[in-house]
């Protein structure tokens, strides 16, 4: 398995070649290596997870959905055997020579972001909120390393909640893009229904399954 430093080099090379999503995934693989040394498991969430699940494979590598590019950075949360420990991974990044932090602009350590030196690639270690089922985490082999993501249903569920509670059209479009791209895979609608709560009721799952527009979703869930 590649070490963290070589994975970060691969991330820089992919970024320089214009393979943005491949670069972010290689960066995430390097973060996984660093995290393992401090006993935590980083799970990629947010826009990079959306871009991966809605991506297309091309001769150049993975390409994000051209009509819905969700991110240019890597957001991760951390999980340990005893709960979340984002501080340990933040400290590892702060000590790593491959990164520079925004400590001047953001004096609060828990809110800092880290830039990979030599590339326009950004990492943010979020709080330990569990967005998904740890038993359903998706593991990818990337550039000789590993990347962990919430399952596509859990990733969509996060955006569905935001779409309804914050009336966010963009969040709904991201959830729809994930569901559409994963339709021929082992997508589990029953699992999403089992996650229904006040922020993401069953009607919202039905709207996603029906491919509702944002306006149709709001009407269905009113």
- DSSP-derived 3-state class of residue 139: strand
CA Rg value for the chain = 17
Q: pLDDT of 5-33, one tens digit each?
A: 999 999 999 999 988 888 999 999 999 99
| pLDDT at 82 > cutoff 50 | no
Residue with tokens 């990079």: 48
Q: What does pTM read for this prediction? A: 0.86
Here the tokens at position 92 are 């590892």
Cα(207)–Cα(214) distance, rounded to whole angstroms? 9
**What sign for the dihedral angle of Cα 66, 64, 181, 214?**
negative
Reported as type and span, the H/E element at residue 32 is: helix 20-37
Beta-strand pair 99-101/113-116 = antiparallel
Q: How many residues does the chain have?
A: 222
Here the tokens at position 204 are 């919202």
pLDDT at 46: 85
- 127 contact partners, CB below 8 Å, separation of at least 6: 77, 84, 86, 110
pLDDT at 51: 87
Cα(196)–Cα(190) distance, rounded to whole angstroms? 10
pLDDT at 99: 93
Dihedral Cα 132, 36, 127, 109, nearest 10 deg:
-170
Q: pLDDT of 182-218, one tens digit each?
A: 877 789 999 999 988 888 899 999 999 999 999 999 9
């Amino acid at each position: 398995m590649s070490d963290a430093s070589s994975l970060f080099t691969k991330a820089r090379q992919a970024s320089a070649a214009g393979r943005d999503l491949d670069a972010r995934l290689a960066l995430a693989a390097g973060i996984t290596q660093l995290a393992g040394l401090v006993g935590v498991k980083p799970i990629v969430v947010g826009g990079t997870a959306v871009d991966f699940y809605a991506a297309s494979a091309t001769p150049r590598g993975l390409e994000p959905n051209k009509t819905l590019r969700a991110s240019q950075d890597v957001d991760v949360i951390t999980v340990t055997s005893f709960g979340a420990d984002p501080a340990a991974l933040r400290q590892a990044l702060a000590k790593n020579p491959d990164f520079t932090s925004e400590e001047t602009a953001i004096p609060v350590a828990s809110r800092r972001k880290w830039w990979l030196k030599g590339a326009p690639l950004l990492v943010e270690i979020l709080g330990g909120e569990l967005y998904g089922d740890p038993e359903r985490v998706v593991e990818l082999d990337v550039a000789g390393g590993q990347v962990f993501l919430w399952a596509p249903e859990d990733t969509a569920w996060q955006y569905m909640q935001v779409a309804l509670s914050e009336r966010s059209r963009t969040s709904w479009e991201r959830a729809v893009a994930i569901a559409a791209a994963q339709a021929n895979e082992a997508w589990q609608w029953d699992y999403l229904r089992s996650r229904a709560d006040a922020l993401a009721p069953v009607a919202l799952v039905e709207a996603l399954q029906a491919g509702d527009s944002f306006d149709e979703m709001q009407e269905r869930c009113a």
